Amino acid sequence: MTLHPPSALAEFDAFTASLGSRTPALFLDYDGTLAAIAPRPELATMPDEARAVVQRLSALCPVAFVSGRDLDDLTAMVAVDGLVYAGSHGFDLRGPGLRRQVGVEYVPDLDIADSNLRDRLGGIAGALVERKRFAIAIHTRQVASAEKPRVADAVRAVVEVQPRLRMTGGKELFELRPNLPWDKGRAVLALLEALGLEGDGTMPIYLGDDETDEDAFRALASRGDGNGIGIGIRVMDGPAETAATWSLHDPAEAAAFLGRLADWLAQG
């Protein structure tokens, strides 16, 4: 773990040198990575310039989005055809010739939790319960500071009586997911296998900004023999412990980095 990895943009030549002759396979988070964090999920839009870069990259190397957003929501927000999309932290995957869902049998548990959360949080101003097919996000960004502990207590109370679900955290949110050994890291490894990208000619690269993205960084940083199989890049505005080996400052810098990577790939 490191507190502040070197900038993949400022040290772009060193970054590309680490790729060697391998072709990148890009796995991109959405919120906080290519779209700036917003008060409400629907307001977090990706700039047209970033979308154009993603579109360009998709013709040069494999590109997938791996997000906590619901799959249909993620697909609509990115709005680039032909990509692989993994929603709900990888529980719901779709792409050309690919369809996989993990934890379908847990949907009724999420239905019950969703109802209980809305009952418990209905009186707390600003608390937002966002239901996804395979997860429930409880957003606290618009909740008064004094009220945030009440939100946390309510979420814990709900999950305590539903052992088939587990609680995770993130930037100003809690999330309930199926209590399964599945996360963004396992989803990325599954996608590498499903897409035939496990060979030595491919370098998986994951860009993300939050706690749940650390699962992907760790998955790419180590394997049985102790050597990494890919590269993690964390979008971060200050020092934080991370398993990523490179960093970028914010979504604008992430888009600039991807644009430079597209230029480098196009030059052959």
> Mind telling me the catalytic residues?
29
Q: Largest Cα–Cα distance in the chain?
A: 58
Residue that has been written with the tokens 């919120």 in this structure: 31
What are the angstrom distances between the C-alpha of 46 and each of 25, 32, 33, 95, 231?
Answer: 21, 10, 9, 20, 23
Give the alpha-carbon dihedral of 237, 240, 244, 247, to 10 degrees: 20
The two three-digit tokens of residue 18, written as one number: 């680490």
d(CA 202, CA 20): 10
Give the alpha-carbon dihedral of 93, 16, 226, 222, to 10 degrees: -30
Question: How many of the other CB atoms lie within 10 Å of CB of 34?
Answer: 27
Q: Find out whether 173 and 149 touch, Cβ atoms under 8 Å.
A: no
